[in-house]
Amino acid sequence: MTEATPALQLSGITKRFGALVANDNISLRLDKGEVLALLGENGAGKSTLVSILFGHYAADAGAITAFGKPLPAADPKSALAAGIGMVHQHFALANNLSVLDNVLIGLEPLWRLRSHAAPVRKQLAEAALRFGLAINPDALVGSLSVGEKQRVEILKALVRGAKVLILDEPTAVLTPLESAALFVTLKQMVRQGLSIIFISHKLDEVLQISDRIAVLRAGKLVAECATADATKPQLALWMVGRTLTPSVHPTRQRGAPLLQLDAACTAGHPKLKSVSLTLHAGEIVAIAGVAGNGQAALADLLCGLVPLESGSVRIDTQPLSSSPSACVNTGIGRIPEDRSHIGVVGDMTVWENAVIEDLTDSRFTRAGFVRREPSQQHATALVQQFDVRTQGVNVPIRGLSGGNIQKLILGRVLSRKPKLIVANQPTWGLDVGAVAAIHERLVAACVPVGDGSTAAGVLLISEDLEEIMALADRIAVMSRGQLSEALPKAEWTLASLGLAMTATTDQEITRAA
């Protein structure tokens, strides 16, 4: 295999941004027909490396050859011409346009009296058939699921003649079933001679899909090995640079019932259909399920965003308030799914976001004016306590990474000493370090601190089954707006959970198969 010309050969790639060395003398090889996983934490330099590969950046030093020919630096067009296709984490698609239009854009000269869509339609159908990526070319992209949109992106690259496909954190936005379907597709592509660079920070999927693994840390290539020889702890050590202590789960005392839902129904889509659940103080109850089955409706209901149609919801035996601010004040801590749009106001500063839920608190406001000094001190304390990496509290929060935004949100929630924490996908898309930190805090919140405060209860909504298995005391599965009984964790297995999640959605099963 090594004698053959590699699909890609990177030698001595170095890229600096000011004082920061994003890529430090990286040499890598990608053979034809293999999946190379690029593993590393957020900020390790993976994205910079592939941006150089795809011609978005020019490397300060080093050279790239594609199929034995040198690749000119910083020229996306020649990267495309050399058969390098890129699927970004944030899709470059237009929602109000059809699939065909999205694939067609840029493929033909601009000045023509009529688009020649027919050959592209044919190519699209061929690629779809060859790799099992069925898609309706006339569907509006906005009407597609996230997994299908990703399919469009892959097809876009294939129609443009990609022989090397770079996937930037492709599973970050997918449900477990969609990920499984993607892996089937990728295997099929590799069998047909395509090469794939798979960027991820998730150890399990890297072990599952790749042939070789290259680990980046702080801009350096710290290790390279065949997947067959790799173990999870070893990879984690390479990636993080230290051993992650498995989170110690303090023994928790189940207290009085904290949250009681009795046949709760909501309107809207998707809606809750007669959901019943009891959550006790000091307990973590996880809601598993495929996205879009009503988990969001449940979270919105508890946060006062969606009104109750029928049934009852009680917090501490009191009926649930019906406005978001009242919910917050009765002691509900909210960790929303869309952290950067719902969780924080991107253009506002870190400190403003830190006190945004406390604007009736006399510590932070006086006579209708915000007290800057105490607010900023509070924010600074949160930033230190929760290890939020930011250049101070006076910068707009949108500049922070997702993990750091999430840590700030968590700090904001916990500083209010909530009774109930509604955590919707709290670690979605975060790297190992941030995930561990957030898990630790959530578990700690369920244990009463010495000063007589009571333990909180956590309602954890997640699609990550490993997360659920690691944290939850009891697990309920949500499907089509209905919630199963919450059974103790010991009574579930990964397999039985997966089955319960999919049992009622037949099309999901066929898609995964």
Size of the site for another protein (CB under 8 A): 25
Closer residue to another protein in complex, CB, 39/144: 144
∠ Cα 336 412 380 (to 5°): 135
The answer to the question of residue 507 lying near another protein (CB under 8 A) is: no
Contact 488/463 with Cβ under 8 angstroms?
no
Bridge partners of 226?
212
- For the bound state, the minimum distance from the C-beta of residue 121 to another protein, rounded and expressed in Å, comes to 14
N-terminal to C-terminal alpha carbon distance within the chain = 31
Pseudo-torsion of CA 147, 152, 158, 159, nearest 10°? Answer: 170
Shortest spacing between CB 104 and another protein, in angstroms: 6
Give dist(CA 456, CA 235) in Å, integer: 34
Q: Among residues 59 and 308, whose Cβ is nearest to another protein?
A: 59
DSSP 8-state symbol, 324: H
Among 58, 68, 69, 95, binds another protein (CB under 8 A): 95
Phi then psi for 162, rounded to 5 degrees?
-70, 135
Question: What span, in angstroms and rounded, lies between the C-alpha atoms of 13 and 26?
Answer: 5
For residue 466, the one-letter residue type is E
Query: Cα-Cα-Cα-Cα dihedral of 184, 6, 79, 187, to 10°?
Result: 0
Which residues, numbered 103-122, are part of the site for another protein (CB under 8 A)?
104-115
| Residue 394 to residue 228: CA distance in whole angstroms | 47
Q: Looking at beta carbons only, is 90 or 242 nearer to another protein?
A: 90
Minimum CB separation of residue 138 from another protein in Å reads: 13
Our CB check for another protein shows the closer of 74 and 470 to be: 74
Q: In the complex with another protein, which residue's Cβ is closer, 339 or 412?
A: 339
From its phi and psi, is residue 45 left (phi > 0), alpha (psi between -120 and 50) or beta? left
Taking the least distance from each CB to another protein, the nearer of 273 and 398 is 398
- CA dist 400 and 386 (Å) reads 14
Q: Which is nearer to another protein, 6 or 429 (CB)?
A: 429
Q: What is the DSSP letter of 453?
A: P
Among 4, 20, 61, 94, indicate the residue that binds another protein (CB under 8 A). Answer: 94
**Contact status, residue 286 vs residue 468, Cβ threshold 8 Å:** yes
Nearest to 292 by CA among 90, 144, 478: 478
Q: Which of residues 233-262 bind another protein (CB under 8 A)?
A: none
Between residue 131 and residue 150, which ones bind another protein under the rule CB under 8 A?
142
Instruction: Supply the minimum distance, in Å, between the C-beta of residue 108 and another protein.
Output: 5
Q: Smallest gap, in angstroms, from Cβ of residue 126 to another protein?
A: 20
Q: Specify the residue for token string 């500063």.
A: 349
Which of the stretches 98-106, 161-169, 201-209, 499-507 binds another protein when contact is defined by CB under 8 A? Answer: 98-106
Contacting residue, 23, 42, 51, 102, with another protein by CB under 8 A? 102
Q: Which is nearer to another protein, 109 or 452 (CB)?
A: 109
In angstroms, what is the minimal distance from the CB of 489 to another protein?
Answer: 39
Residue 246 backbone phi and psi in degrees, to 5: -60, 130
In the bound state with another protein, the residue whose beta carbon lies nearer, of 109 and 368, is 109
Each residue 63-92 as x (binds another protein by CB under 8 A) or -, in order, gives -------------xx------------xxx
Kindly calculate the radius of gyration of the chain based on its CA atoms and give it in whole angstroms. Answer: 25
Number of alpha helices (DSSP H) and beta strands (DSSP E) in the chain: 17, 23
How far is CA 335 from each of CA 328, 369, 427, 440, rounded to the nearest angstrom? 11, 27, 10, 15
| Contact status: 93 vs another protein (CB under 8 A) | yes
Which of 97, 139, 218, 223 touches another protein by CB under 8 A? 97
Q: Write out the two tokens for 424.
A: 């919707």
Instruction: Look up residue 356 and give its two tokens.
Output: 């945004």
Least distance in Å: CB of 341 to another protein? 13
- What is the nearest approach in angstroms of another protein to the Cβ of residue 451? 44
What's the closest the beta carbon of residue 97 comes to another protein, in angstroms? 6
> Is 51 an interacting residue with respect to another protein (CB under 8 A)?
no
Under the criterion CB under 8 A, does residue 450 sit at the interface with another protein? no
Q: How far is the CB of 169 from another protein (least distance, A)?
A: 15
Q: Using the minimum distance from each CB to another protein, give the nearer residue, 235 or 400.
A: 400
What's the min distance (Å) between Cβ of 141 and another protein? 9
Closer to another protein by CB, 115 or 323: give it: 115
Given a contact cutoff of 8 angstroms between Cβ atoms, the answer to whether 37 and 212 are in contact is yes
Minimum distance of another protein from residue 147's CB (angstroms): 19
Exactly one of 31, 101, 169, 358 binds another protein (CB under 8 A); that residue is 101
Cβ proximity to another protein: between 105 and 256 the closer is 105
Q: 495: which 2 tokens?
A: 């397999």
Nearer to another protein, 102 or 179 (CB): 102
Q: Does 269 bind another protein (CB under 8 A)?
A: no
- Picking from 181, 188, 186, 208, the residue whose alpha carbon sits closest to that of residue 197 is 186
The minimum distance between CB 90 and another protein, in angstroms, equals: 7
Dihedral sign, CA of 18, 24, 29, 35? negative
Q: CB 419: neighbour CB atoms within 10 A?
A: 18
**Positions in the binding site for another protein (CB under 8 A):** 76-77, 90-97, 101-102, 104-115, 142
